[in-house]
Chain A
């Protein structure tokens, strides 16, 4: 599995934007970039995913570098409920050994201050 690198922790203030970076310099052409988050005492929650173009949904935006070696998850206005561990994961869209498998790293612990 291609590896991702994320900062161990980040802090933000409520109602401010948050930019969570992820480096994936060994990404392959068929790898999708997925973001999940895990709130305390809950299972992981899907946030967003993309392949080459920037993506937006109701939860967040995903900005993907032109060379695809890095990406940034953007929370436009952080709330206290956004405090969680955020995981950046690469998944091979070609299937095979990636079927049903997410390879979680340590993720980034996001703390949101009121």
Chain B
């Protein structure tokens, strides 16, 4: 099976702009989770989608949003970018999302200038 894919791999944006990141899960996986990784805060959970519904959400401002499509592909959007949003954004898929293991993509490196 193909792994989790994320596009784009690298992105440079300017403060105030918005950005959309894409994630394609492993075939058959219905749960998609998003994480932000920074040197200072480590890996932090953003949100999780299952069957097009957000089931769980981390402690991030409303500028961070996401959605999931009927084919389980997911997108996350960050509006009004701030310098502190520079991070590696990781997507992970799993079969159900509870105790099941997650499989991570390579991430999208976002730099905000």
Contact = CB atoms under 8 A, between A and B. Distances in A.
B8 interface: no
The secondary-structure label for the interface of chain B is: strand
Interface stretch (B10-18, B50-58, B75-83): B50-58
Contacts of A103: 45
Contacts of A92: 98-99
A interface SS class: loop
A20 B44 CA distance: 23
Interface stretch (A9-17, A40-48, A73-81): A40-48
Contact of B99 (A32, A45, A46, A97): A32
B47 to A, nearest CB: 8
B84 interface: no
Contacts, number: 71
A101 interface: yes
B58 A101 contact: yes
B102 A46 contact: yes
Nearest to B3: A43
A60 to B, nearest CB: 13
Contact of A100 (B48, B90, B107): B48
Contacts of A100: 31-33, 45, 47-50, 55-56, 92, 94, 97, 102
A95 interface: yes
Nearest to B43: A104
Interface of A: 32, 34, 36, 42-46, 49, 91-95, 97-106
26 contacts: A32-B99, A43-B105, A43-B106, A44-B43, A44-B102, A46-B103, A91-B98, A91-B99, A92-B98, A93-B99, A98-B98, A99-B98, A100-B31, A100-B33, A100-B45, A100-B47, A100-B55, A100-B56, A100-B97, A101-B58, A102-B33, A102-B43, A102-B45, A103-B45, A104-B42, A104-B43
